[in-house]
A and B are shown apart, each in its own frame.
Chain A
Amino acid sequence: MMMALVADAVARAFPFVPSLGRVARFSLDALAAAVTPKFYWKTLLEQMERMCIHCTLPILFVLAPMGAVIALESVKVFSIFGAANMTSSLLAVAMFREIAPVMGGIMVASQTGAEIAAEIAGMRVRGLIDALEVMSVNPRKAVIAPRIVAGLLITPVLTLVGTFTGIAGGYIIAVLVKGSNAGAFMGNLFAWATMTDVVGGLLKAAVFGVMVIVISCYHGFYAGRGAAGVGQATNDSVVHSVVSILVINYFLTTAFFGFDI
C-alpha cells in the first residue's frame, strides 16, 4: 500500500520514471533479440548503408563549422599568451574527445534517429508492426535489432570522419583566414592528443549511437495514432536522444579521461 502510494507520487512528480522502466524493458528485449538467432544480416547491411548515406553530409556540415569556431576562439585566446601554435593541439584534443562524439551523436539523433522513429511509428500507425507479428515474424528481431547494431557500428565511423572534418574546418579558419603558420598548425596537431583520446572518443560515439537508436526505436514502436502520433514520436525521440547524449557525456568524460584528476 505504502509502496504503491510512493510509486504513484514519484510517477506524478517525475513522469519520466515509469517510461524509464519501459525503455529498460524494451532495450533488454531488443538486446535479447539481437543476440539470439535469427539475425537479419541483410537488414543490418541495408541500415548501415542508409546511415552512412544519410548522416555523412549533415555531420560534415555541422562539424566543419564547430572546428572553425573553436579555432576562431582559441587563436585569439592563445595569441594573448603568445602561444598561437597550440591552437591546433587544442583543436585536435577537443575534437577527438568532445565535439566530434557529441555533435556526431546529436546529428545521428536528428537524422537517423528521427528517421527511424518516424519510420517505425509509420509502420505502427499503418498496422505493419501488427502485420509482422501476425505473420509470426518478431518485429524486435526483424526491425529493431539490426538498426541498433548498425548504430553501434556506424556512429564511431561517422565520428571519425567528423573529427577530421572539424580539424579541416579549424585549419581553414586558423591558417587561411587568420593567417597562422600552416607548418606550425600541422606540426602541433597531435602534440596533446593521445591514443586514449582517440579510443575514448570512439567509445563515446558507440555508446551514443546505441542509445540514440534504442530511444528512437522505442518512441516509434509505441507511437500514438495518426499523423499526430508520428509527429509526437519523432519529436520525443529527438528531445530524449539529445538530452541523454549531453547528460551521459559528462559521466563518460569523467570515466574515460578523468583518471589523472
Chain B
Amino acid sequence: MVIGDTVRQGAFGFLFSELGRYGYFLAETLRYLFYRKFYLGNLIDEMNVIGSRSVPILSAVSAFVGMNLCVEGYIIFKKFGAQNLVGMFVAVANIRELSPLVAGLIVGAKAGTQMAARIGTMRVTDQIDALQVIGVNPFSYLVIPRVAAAVLVMPLVVVVAYFFSTLAAYMVAVLQLGLNGSAFLELVYANITLEDMLKGMVKGSVFGGIVTTISCYSGYRAWGGAWGVGVATNLAVVRMATAMVFFNIFLTEVLFM
C-alpha cells in the first residue's frame, strides 16, 4: 500500500497525505484523552516497559556517548590550549543536546519500535477490530497509556542518561586524557544550572511524545500481514528519528537561545 501510494501520488503528495493522517491521529488521541475511560493499569505497565527495558541499555550507551564527547572536546579545545576547560563543554553539551537526543533515540529504538511492532501485529491479526467490537476504544486502551507513559517517564530517563554520560566522561578525562579529576568535576558543577537541567528534561518529554505517537500511528495503520508489520516498524524508526532532530532545532532555539 505504502509503495503503491508513493508511486501514484509522488513522494511529496504521499508525504502530505501521511502528515494529514498523522494530524488526525493526534487529534483523535487528544479527544479520547478526555472523553473516555483512562486505563491506569496500562499506563503503569508501559512506564515499567520503558523504564526496565530501555534504561539499562540507555545507561550503557550514554556512557559511551559521554566518553566520545570528552575525547572530541579535548581534541578541539587543545587547539586553543584550553584542554582543561573540557569539563565545561561536557557538562553543557550533554544536558542541552546529547542526553535528551540519545535518550529519545534509544527509547525510540527500543520501546518505540516495539510499540509499532506490537500494535501493527494487533492490527494485522484483527485484534484491534476485536477490541472495538468488544466495546473498548483502542485509542484509550493502547495509544494514550503509551504516549502518557513516555511523556511522564522521559524526564527521569534523561537524568539517568545525563548522569551516566557525565560519569563516563569524567573517567575518560582522568584515566585516558590525564586531566585533573577534581578540576574537571568543579567545572562540571559550575556549569550545570537547574534551569538547563529542567529544560533538558522538557526536551526529553517532548521527544517521548514524538516517538510514541509516531510509533503508535505507524503500527495502527499497518496493513498486509507479517510483511506489513515489518514495514510499519521500519517506517516508525525513520519517521521518529527525522521528527526528533527536526523539532530539536526549535526546542533549542526556544529553550536555550
Q: Which residues of A contact B (CB under 8 A)?
A: 57-58, 61-62, 65-66, 68-69, 72-73, 76, 90, 93-94, 97-98, 103, 106-107, 109-111, 114-115, 117-119, 121-122, 125-126, 173, 192, 226-235, 238-239, 242-243, 246-247, 249-250, 253-254, 257-258, 260-261
Given contacts A61-B246, A98-B68, contact A261 B234 (CB under 8 A): no
* 0/1 interface trace, chain B 220-257, chain A, CB 8 Å (1 if under): 00000111111111100110011001101100110011
**CA A125 to CA B224, docked complex, whole Å:** 14
Q: Which residues of A contact B79 (CB under 8 A)?
A: 192
Q: Which of B165-182 contact A (CB under 8 A)?
A: 176-177
Known: A235-B113, A260-B75. 4 other contacts (CB 8 A): A68-B249, A94-B72, A98-B72, A125-B226
**A110–B249 CB distance below 8 A:** no
Provide 20 A-B residue pairs closer than 8 Å at the C-beta atoms, listed in order of the A residue: A61-B242, A62-B242, A73-B93, A90-B76, A93-B76, A107-B241, A110-B237, A114-B230, A114-B233, A118-B233, A122-B227, A192-B76, A230-B229, A231-B116, A231-B118, A231-B120, A238-B113, A242-B61, A243-B57, A247-B60
Count of A-B residue pairs with CB < 8 Å: 168
> Within 8 Å of chain A (Cβ to Cβ): is B146?
no
**A227–B229 CB distance below 8 A:** yes
Top 4 closest A-B pairs, CB basis?
A: A118-B230, A231-B117, A110-B237, A114-B234
Q: Which residues of B contact A231 (CB under 8 A)?
A: 116-118, 120-121, 229-230, 232-233
Q: Is the interface of B mostly helix, strand, loop or mixed?
A: helix
Q: Find A234's partner among B75, B76, B176, B233 (CB 8 Å cutoff).
A: B233
**A118–B231 CB distance below 8 A:** yes
Q: Which residues of B contact A (CB under 8 A)?
A: 11, 57, 60-61, 64-65, 67-68, 71-72, 74-76, 78-79, 93, 96-97, 102, 105-106, 109-110, 113-114, 116-118, 120-121, 124-125, 176-177, 225-234, 237-238, 241-242, 245-246, 248-249, 252-253, 256-257
Q: Which residues of B contact A232 (CB under 8 A)?
A: 117
**B241–A106 CB distance below 8 A:** yes
- Least distance between B199 CB and chain A CB atoms (Å): 13
Q: Which residue of B lies closest to A98 (CB)?
A: B72
**CA A242 to CA B257, docked complex, whole Å:** 30
**B227–A261 CB distance below 8 A:** no
**CA A228 to CA B114, docked complex, whole Å:** 10
| Most B C-beta atoms less than 10 A away, residue of A57, A119, A232 | A232
Q: Which residues of B contact A122 (CB under 8 A)?
A: 226-227, 230
Q: Find A257's partner among B75, B113, B118, B234 (CB 8 Å cutoff).
A: B75
Q: Which residues of B contact A253 (CB under 8 A)?
A: 68, 71-72
**B121–A227 CB distance below 8 A:** yes
- Least distance between A210 CB and chain B CB atoms (Å): 19
